[in-house]
Amino acid sequence: MNFERIQEKLEILADAAKYDVSCSSSGGNRKNKGGLGDSHASGICHTYTEDGRCVSLLKILLTNHCIYDCAYCVSRKTNDVKRAAFTVEEVVDLTISFYRRNYIEGLFLSSGIFKDSDTTMERLVRVAKKLRLEHNFNGYIHLKSIPGASDELMKEAGLYADRLSINIEIPTEKGLKLLAPDKSHSEMIKPMSFVKNELILYKEEKKIFRKVPRFAPAGQSTQMIVGATNETDLKIIKVADHFYQNFNLKRVYYSGYVPVLEDSRLPSIHSQVPMQRENRLYQADWLMRFYGFEASEILDPEQPFLDLEVDPKLAWALRHREQFPVNINTASREMILRVPGIGTKSAGKILMARKFQKLGMDQLRKMGVAVNRTKYFVEFESSNVFSKFIDDQNLRKILLSGMSSKYQNPFSQQLTLF
């Protein structure tokens, strides 16, 4: 192998793939029977980039040659960049060699569209197939489906990949038309609903036949770029919710737009990456997936943007003071989860521990609850001097002054948000 050439390609094709924020390798469940690798429900971040994002997969493009011209993309046809293409064998070798050294959990393979959708998709599938069949590789494989790929290829992709995704990129149809004139909304939705239907079918068949070949066991995900067009947070959350409800998506990723190209349709090249906004969107997303919040509870048309100062759960609590204080020793799981500063883990601890004894502030602190926020929203058997603040007009200010604005990484697997 010519390592110099491979290195050059790797540099180009990793660089071009880095804007895809999907990193997780969770949800796979492949066992290793004498071959190489396995994938567990929760993947492992093997390292973190200097921007603080988790690295768990070898994330590369097969090629950055592309016949399309999406404005927000560095690989677009009219952008003057170095182009490269891996062979199937090269991607397979890199994946295996990195995996054997415990650098990665698997492969995330995406591609520019060269020639046409099916040719590109077929090449991606070939990589996955070779890894599985010839190398007995059971690590994680995430394939980015190519918009417009045929059902047959999507079907095959699902047999070898753990997860499939198509990036929506731009949350509204109008925005998409503007920035990605070659792509059509329906072309992007079609493979998604195909995958959804296959997933349902698989579940059904599994009930009847024991040995149905598995289909994309880790489901599908998508990504939306935030801040490239001027959609509201409400719109973004609604779109995400729609995908969760109707396409059985496992994850929606939010990617603050990184200005890389000069284009009149895009924010200026000097604009800031909207990191805080992106972070708040992840928090809102978590509220929908793990905390029992409805999209409509998080934002409404009067307030279409997330509060950048306080997290969405705290913002909700401040708007709904009548629901507080919550009695830690008697309240339902649902309500305990709504208390600012209490995450799903500490909620679980509280529910178990209170079977043994009545709990107070001290125990909450020891369980790792962020009591500096929580204390205003809870009550116990013994009195809690802070709970009277719940009716105080200035509670928001009091809370803000007590919070160090520590920025938390939205990509982190070990996200502890609330």
Tell the smallest beta-carbon distance from residue 180 to ligand SF4 (Å).
Answer: 6
Using the rule CB under 8 A, is 14 a contact of another protein? Answer: yes
Site residues for another protein, window 111-170 (CB under 8 A)? 136
Q: Between 198 and 311, name the residue whose CB sits nearer to another protein.
A: 311
Q: Between 159 and 275, name the residue whose CB sits nearer to another protein.
A: 275
Other C-beta atoms lying within 10 Å of the C-beta of residue 8? 13
Print the binding letters for residues 69-88 with ligand SF4: x by CB under 6 A, - otherwise.
Answer: -x--x-xx------------
178 φ/ψ angles, rounded to the nearest 5 degrees: -70, -45
Number of residues that bind another protein (CB under 8 A): 57
Using the rule CB under 8 A, is 209 a contact of another protein? Answer: no
Strand ranges in 43-172 using DSSP code E only, listed in sequence order = 47-48, 54-55, 57-61, 106-110, 140-144, 163-165
Using the rule CB under 8 A, is 54 a contact of another protein? Answer: yes
Other C-beta atoms lying within 10 Å of the C-beta of residue 157? 27
User: Which DSSP string do the residues of 113-125 spell out, in sequence order?
Assistant: --S-HHHHHHHHH
- Distances in Å between the Cα of 192 and the Cα atoms of 53, 78, 149, 168, 269 are 26, 28, 11, 10, 32
| Biggest alpha carbon–alpha carbon distance for the chain | 72
Scanning 62-70, 93-101, 167-175, 204-212 for contacts with another protein by CB under 8 A, the matching segment is 93-101
Q: Which does 258 bind (CB under 5 to 8 A by kind): another protein, ligand SF4, none?
A: another protein
Query: Which amino acid does the sequence have at 382?
Result: S
Q: 65: which residues sit within 8 A by CB, 6+ positions away?
A: 75, 83, 85, 112, 114
Scanning 92-100, 188-196, 198-206, 245-253 for contacts with another protein by CB under 8 A, the matching segment is 92-100
Member of 21, 45, 66, 176 binding ligand SF4 (CB under 6 A): 66
Other C-beta atoms lying within 10 Å of the C-beta of residue 294? 9
Q: Which does 37 bind (CB under 5 to 8 A by kind): another protein, ligand SF4, none?
A: another protein
Member of 113, 141, 149, 281 binding ligand SF4 (CB under 6 A): 113
Tokens 């924020």 belong to which residue?
21
Q: Between 176 and 281, name the residue whose CB sits nearer to ligand SF4.
A: 176
Q: Which does 112 bind (CB under 5 to 8 A by kind): ligand SF4, another protein, none?
A: ligand SF4
Using the rule CB under 8 A, is 261 a contact of another protein? Answer: no
Instruction: Please tell me the distance from the alpha carbon of residue 394 to that of residue 162, in angstroms, as a whole number.
Output: 49
Judge if the upstream peptide bond of residue 325 is cis by omega within 30 degrees of 0. yes
Residues that bind ligand SF4 (CB under 6 A): 66, 68, 70, 73, 75-76, 112-113, 180
